[in-house]
Amino acid sequence: IIINHFHFIKTLATMEWNQQTLTFLSQSFLDTLSPLPEPRRRAEKNLSDAADSPNFTLAVLRLVAEPSVDEQIRHSAAVNFKNHLKTRWGPSAAVPIPDAEKEQIKQLIVPLMLSAGPKIQAQLSEALAVIGNHDFPKLWPALLPELKTSLENAINVNDFVSVNGILATVNSLFKKFRYQYKSDPILLDLKYCLDNFAAPLLSTVENLSVKMSAAGGNVVVVKQLVEAQRLCCRIFYSLNFLDLPEFF
Tens digits of residue pLDDT in 10-31: 545 558 889 999 999 999 999 9
Q: What is the pLDDT of residue 248?
A: 63
Instruction: Please compute the mean of the pLDDT values over residues 161-174 and round it to a whole number.
Output: 92
Instruction: Please compute the mean of the pLDDT values over residues 62-91 and round it to a whole number.
Output: 96
Q: Alpha-carbon distance 29 to 61, whole Å?
A: 13
CB 77 within 8 A of CB 25: yes
Q: Alpha-carbon distance 119 to 195, whole Å?
A: 32
Phi, psi (rounded to 5 degrees) for 60: -65, -40
Instruction: Please compute the mean of the pLDDT values over residues 108-121 and round it to a whole number.
Output: 92
% of the chain residues with pLDDT over 90: 80
Instruction: Of 77-81, 98-102, 142-146, 216-220, give the lowest mean pLDDT range.
Output: 216-220
Residue 192 pLDDT exceeds 50: yes
Q: Alpha-carbon distance 13 to 52, whole Å?
A: 10
Q: What is the pLDDT of residue 9?
A: 44
CB 29 within 8 A of CB 59: no
Q: What is the pLDDT of residue 19?
A: 92
On the question of a cis peptide bond just before residue 98, with omega within 30 degrees of 0, the verdict is no
Residue 207, Cβ density class (10 Å: 0-12 exposed, 13-18 middle, ≥19 buried)? middle
